[in-house]
Structure 1
Amino acid sequence: MTSAPSHRRAHSFNAAAAQYAAHRPSYPPALFDAVENLAGRPLAGARVLDVGAGTGIATALLAERGAHVVAVEPGEGMARELRRALPDTPLVRGDGDHLPFADGSADFITYAQAWHWTDQERSVPEALRVLRPGGALALWWNIADHAVPWVAEQDTRIARCLGYDDGARKTADRTTELTKALDFRRDRIHWSRSIPLDSHLANISSHSAFLVLGEDRTAAFLAQERTELLKTFPTGIVEESYATDLLLALSPTP
């Protein structure tokens, strides 16, 4: 079951949906190439359920690949932002623990930055129920690339502020737990984007740990972080570096 603090963090995005849509990173084309390679079939023409779709960042990219996408999102604020951005995309209010779809009705089920909000004792059997035989469950996360020195230094400051490490170690722990339930194939895509410092700080503050931290503490951290980052990026343009971790498992065939 989802704990009360996790529930609060999961729902914190609804009040910050516009900020999330404006400042969170997207995903590189190479990610969707990797999804197709690991699944052994194209996204074009496939029925895809994008679960925990949020504001539709991944939903839009899946549709651009030719997939027939249905967005699945439980949060009212996030769903409202998705409707605004993608008015023609089918949207179902629901979550991965209780998928409101028929057995064997999806070719792909995708989770972009969302699988960790599910109860895997429920979401795993639900995904296997809804996927057709040989269908693919694809999970991915944008992770700050700690091989880049300034990123690692920032992560240390974030951990100090929050009182724990919310970065790569937690993702490694999470994926280790996942492999116990399903036979995942893996890939990792490295990429970057250049954005204004204000957008970078807004991206940081759109994460759930900061959304529930409190305005004063978040504002104090961001002010200090602005000072630190201007030492590395004096022009005010930040080169964000990411490693997108992809896990994909196929549903059993008869």
Structure 2
Amino acid sequence: MTAPSHTSRAHSFNTAAAQYAANRPSYPTALLDAVEDMAGRPLAGARVADIGAGTGISTALLHACGADVLAVEPGDGMAAQFHRALPDVPIVRGDGNRLPLATASLDFLTYAQSWHWTDPARSVPEALRVLRPGGALALWWNASALDVPWIDAQTDRIQRHFGADQVIGKNGAHTALPDPTGRLDFARRLVRWSRRVTIEKHLANISSHSIFLVHGEESTAAFLTEERRHLLAAFPDGTVEETYDVELLLATRP
């Protein structure tokens, strides 16, 4: 199976923005507490830009905690869904490789599930440009907890179906090289949390990931049909507990 291009995977979310918004997990309150603790400053009242904001999952949390937040999103479908969810939060079009933001204008620059779609050779200098001295670049990802046996087994099945080299899981992480330029010194923290959802919502969640979206309806449907059988056998009440380790990386601009 030929691996889809990085670009095609990045653009794939625009066709599934409503599915993404309805089924993807949010983040725990403890994550924003950790961001503030590591940055040594509150989010409330801070000037924040949330990059690759998508449907607004992380932007909504930042807005709710009192941040003066602006969203940046490149995709038409995702931006339209964002407007429906957060009509009062400003959103501009752009991406992390070329930020449509003023120099030294931000206290925080955040990337939720989106830093891996950038080219750090371009996005790191842009982060340094738009952050004020002492401002923080915060990157985070919801990563499935592979020490939970059923999640580990499901990851194996996804890798076998789509190809191990195409799936982020046991064989690598988005955060392996957050800054290959060496210009930023990242501190790291893990925040574990979980949510209980129906099997159907869980399947809708995982199938909103790019690896499913770029392989077409037939391949995705075949996997989901078989996966539903596995999950119903393991969880006959039709409910699963998704467990996540939010991986948070934070660096402060000198």
TM range (shorter): over 0.9
Residue aligned with 1:142, SS: strand
Aligned to 2:23: 23
Aligned to 2:199: 197
Cα deviation, residue 169, structure 1: 3.5
Aligned to 2:226: 224
Q: How big is each residue's C-alpha offset from its partner over 1:116-171, in whole Å with a ceiling of 9 and x where there is no partner?
A: 00011000000000000000000000000001011000000011011014215321
Cα deviation, residue 198, structure 1: 0.6
* Structure 1 runs, 4 residues or longer, greater than 4 Å off: none
Residue aligned with 1:140, SS: strand
Aligned to 1:49: 49
Please tell me whether the aligned partners of residues 194 and 242 of structure 2 are also in contact (alpha carbons under 8 angstroms). yes
Asked whether 1:39 is paired with 2:43, we answer: no
- Which has the larger displacement, 12-21 or 226-235? 226-235
Cα deviation, residue 238, structure 1: 1.1
RMSD, aligned α-carbons: 1.2
Cα deviation, residue 178, structure 1: 2.0
Cα deviation, residue 199, structure 1: 0.5
Q: How big is each residue's C-alpha offset from its partner over 1:5-38, in whole Å with a ceiling of 9 and x where there is no partner?
A: 1111100000100000000000000000000000
> What is the TM-score when the length of structure 1 is the normalising length?
0.95
Please tell me whether the aligned partners of residues 13 and 208 of structure 1 are also in contact (alpha carbons under 8 angstroms). yes
CA distance in 2, matches of 1:79, 1:91: 8
Provide structure 2 residue ranges, at least 5 long, that are not aligned to the other structure. none
CA distance in 1, matches of 2:19, 2:101: 30
> What is the TM-score when the length of structure 2 is the normalising length?
0.95
Provide structure 1 residue ranges, at least 5 long, that are not aligned to the other structure. none
Q: How big is each residue's C-alpha offset from its partner over 1:166-208, in whole Å with a ceiling of 9 and x where there is no partner?
A: 215321xx42322542210111011100011111000011000
Match runs of 1:72-221 below 5 Å:
72-164=72-164, 165-171=167-173, 174-178=174-178, 180=180, 181=182, 182-221=184-223
- Amino acid in the other structure paired with 2:171: R
Please tell me whether the aligned partners of residues 140 and 246 of structure 2 are also in contact (alpha carbons under 8 angstroms). yes
Cα deviation, residue 99, structure 1: 0.6
Please tell me whether the aligned partners of residues 53 and 71 of structure 2 are also in contact (alpha carbons under 8 angstroms). yes
- Amino acid in the other structure paired with 1:235: D
Asked whether 1:59 is paired with 2:59, we answer: yes
Aligned to 1:233: 235
Cα deviation, residue 93, structure 1: 0.4
